[in-house]
Amino acid sequence: MTGVSRELITLQLGHYSNFVGTHWWNLQDASLCYDPGSAPPPEVQSDSVFREGQTPGGSVTYTPRLIAMDLKGTRRSGFAQPEPGARGGSVTVHKHSQPEKNCFLEDLEKLDVSAGEPEPGSEPNYRLEGSVTVWSDFLRLHLHPRSVAVIHQFNHDGEAHRLETFGQGESVLQGALLDELEDRLHFFVEECDYLQGFQVLCDLEDGFAGLGSKVTELLQDSYGGRGILTWGMAPVVHRDSTPARDRYHLLNAALGTVNMAAHSSLFCPLTLRPPPPPLFPLLSYDVSDLGPALAALRAPPSAPFIYLLQLLLILLQADEASGVSVTGCCSSQVVAAYGAVPFPMMPGGSLPDALSACADALPWKPLSACPEAAGGRCYGQWSTLRGYEGQNCLSPGIEPSTPLHGLLSGEDVLAAYVSSFYPSLVSAPSKLTPPFPQIFSPALDAQGFMRAPLVSSVPILTSLQSGTALRPFLSELQCAAATFDVRRRAPSFLSQGPEMADYQEALEELRLLGRCYHDDSGGTTRSSSEDDDD
């Protein structure tokens, strides 16, 4: 990796966030270039999210700038060296049998011993979908010893000592755990030359929502002026769901959304709920295991994180340009994610041909529990298309049949199609290396184009938008939580906080946040002083 980059530190809070994050880090690892002289500089510069180091043998190695927090029982592999020694004091030893490693981890261990790389084309097709239980089961790269923080007072499995409520998550970040998090943050921050900010992946429907609210507040207070992009993660289904836990999921999501949005530069819920999940016709997947799809659909980090912060500035400028006050009634920004994976295109086809085929409807699907933006107002968006080589961007030697076909570059084609501010176009696809599951239809070839047994890369179109499509998500979340009598039906939810007055205040803030994205029949966004009754 070459060039000067502005560093980005990632925090993953919760088991589902670590699941999606592990797939995402595996995808980034597949794009790393360890020998800059062997190939031209890549479009995707990963310096911002990786830290460079050396093994004892002198080989170059890259580890993520990552702090991952999870519960006891989720950690099995992927660490660069043993954790630092324990602090002084009495020690109690607990013996546990070593978990059995799957075939992928066994092969990865053999590669570590041999310090070699697999021969091109020799990587086996691992089928781990039915055997993976924790995110470290399929982590293909090493993490720094300071990356993983385990919350020992709560269990990942079992019925006892579960981190289930927002108040539990808030109260856990104190004392030794708070000191540990601050130490890890200082370590990664101090080695950065040009820290641009943080991205946070946080489970939204369990106790990590409270922990994430405290973490984003800490980042905002301690690193003012740095951007904070927060992804609120929620699975389609919870494997251990009960009616009581479903009520907790609702309340955690409501409190987590309003608090993390208040402490972030941008907050984006990322989920394929509510059921039924959006249909991706060229994917074959189990709705209970959509982590790989969400990882692939997350906006690529190389398309620099700073662009996401520029989106916030664009939204602020929209107040003056259009007279629409998006920011006058709230101090935070919520965005919705959309994605098309894979982006539908025939081999050898051109980008104008592919986009012209989607003239009646945008090809992407909602990823933030928001409806597809049909007729609503979009205040600003950032779109990325990756996975097309230069020769696929235009129709060579053919008389233009549509305005798209008459444009001179792929960027112009995409910009005209999306009708938004200037997007980014990356020709390199998202590489899919083992153990990424083969969730793709047999109708795709190896590069993810229409019609090869094993998909090795995939074209993806993603978009982050701030607009009226967010209104239903925020409004329905607030209404569901407000009509729920928490003191009568779930009194234990408030046993460790928040106080009832704080809880009601948070729901009121969520209601006001939703109104920021309301568009009346005349197309004019109402200010916070108008029509209290929605």
Q: What is the pLDDT of residues 31-87, one digit of tens each?
A: 776 666 666 666 666 678 888 877 777 777 889 999 999 988 766 554 544 444 333
242-251, 442-451, 456-465: range with highest mean pLDDT? 242-251
In this structure, are 194 and 261 located in the same domain?
Answer: yes
Give pLDDT tens digits for 308-334.
444 444 443 333 333 333 344 444 588
Residue 178's pLDDT band, with cuts at 50, 70 and 90, is very high
As a whole number, mean pLDDT of residues 439-457 equals 68
Residue type, 300: P
Give pLDDT tens digits for 504-531.
999 999 999 999 888 654 444 443 334 4
Is 100 a member of any domain?
A: no
Strands 8-13 and 66-72: parallel
As a whole number, mean pLDDT of residues 236-249 equals 83
Is 487 a member of any domain?
A: yes
Is 123 a member of any domain?
A: no
What pLDDT is attached to residue 318? 38
Whether 303 shows a pLDDT value over 90: the answer reads no
In the structure encoding, which two tokens stand for residue 317, read together?
A: 């400028």
Which of 423, 449, 468 terminates a domain? The answer is: 468
Residue type, 263: H
To the nearest 10 degrees (0 to 180), the angle between helices 470-482 and 243-262 is: 130
Which of 419, 438, 468 terminates a domain? The answer is: 468
Instruction: Compute the Cα dihedral for 162, 168, 174, 175 and give only its sign.
Output: negative
Ordered DSSP codes for 23-46:
HHHHHHHHT--S-GGGSPPPSS--
Best CA proximity match to 98, nearest among 75, 80, 79: 75
Residue 210's pLDDT band, with cuts at 50, 70 and 90, is very high
Is 98 a member of any domain?
A: no
In this structure, are 62 and 208 located in the same domain?
Answer: yes
Identify the CATH number of the domain in which residue 201 sits: 3.40.50.1440
What pLDDT is attached to residue 250? 94
pTM reported for the whole predicted model = 0.77
| DSSP structure class, residue 393 | S
Task: Give the residue numbers spanning the domain of 169.
Answer: 1-80+106-118+131-336+469-534
Is 33 a member of any domain?
A: yes
What pLDDT is attached to residue 149? 93
Percent of the chain with pLDDT over 70: 62
Residue 171's pLDDT band, with cuts at 50, 70 and 90, is very high
φ, ψ of residue 369 in degrees (nearest 5): 60, 20
Residue 302's pLDDT band, with cuts at 50, 70 and 90, is very low
Give pLDDT tens digits for 345-377.
777 777 778 877 777 777 788 888 887 655 557
In this structure, are 505 and 362 located in the same domain?
Answer: no
In this structure, are 307 and 395 located in the same domain?
Answer: no
Domain count along the chain: 2
Is 99 a member of any domain?
A: no
In this structure, are 187 and 167 located in the same domain?
Answer: yes
| DSSP structure class, residue 379 | E
What pLDDT is attached to residue 100? 63
In this structure, are 302 and 206 located in the same domain?
Answer: yes
Mean pLDDT of the chain: 73
In this structure, are 355 and 283 located in the same domain?
Answer: no
Residues 210-225 as b/e (b if ≥16 CB within 10 A, e otherwise) read bbbbbbbbbbbeebee
Residue 383's pLDDT band, with cuts at 50, 70 and 90, is confident
Whether 20 shows a pLDDT value over 90: the answer reads no
Coil, helix or strand for 216?
helix
Whether 218 shows a pLDDT value over 80: the answer reads yes
What pLDDT is attached to residue 169? 94
Is 92 a member of any domain?
A: no
User: Which uninterrupted H or E stretch holds 486?
Assistant: helix 486-489
Return the minimum-mean-pLDDT range out of 350-359, 466-475, 487-496. Answer: 350-359
What pLDDT is attached to residue 76? 58
Residue 339's pLDDT band, with cuts at 50, 70 and 90, is confident
What pLDDT is attached to residue 445? 72
> How close are the terminal C-alpha atoms of the chain, in Å?
52
3-state helix, strand, coil in the chain (%, to 5): 35, 15, 50
In this structure, are 140 and 248 located in the same domain?
Answer: yes
Is 449 a member of any domain?
A: yes
What pLDDT is attached to residue 386? 75
As a whole number, mean pLDDT of residues 417-435 equals 58
In this structure, are 394 and 493 located in the same domain?
Answer: no
Which of 415, 450, 468 terminates a domain? The answer is: 468
Contact between residue 124 and residue 62 where contact means Cβ atoms under 8 Å apart: no
Please give the residue that has the higher pLDDT: either 282 or 469: 469
Coil, helix or strand for 404?
helix
In this structure, are 382 and 234 located in the same domain?
Answer: no
In this structure, are 324 and 448 located in the same domain?
Answer: no
In this structure, are 479 and 460 located in the same domain?
Answer: no
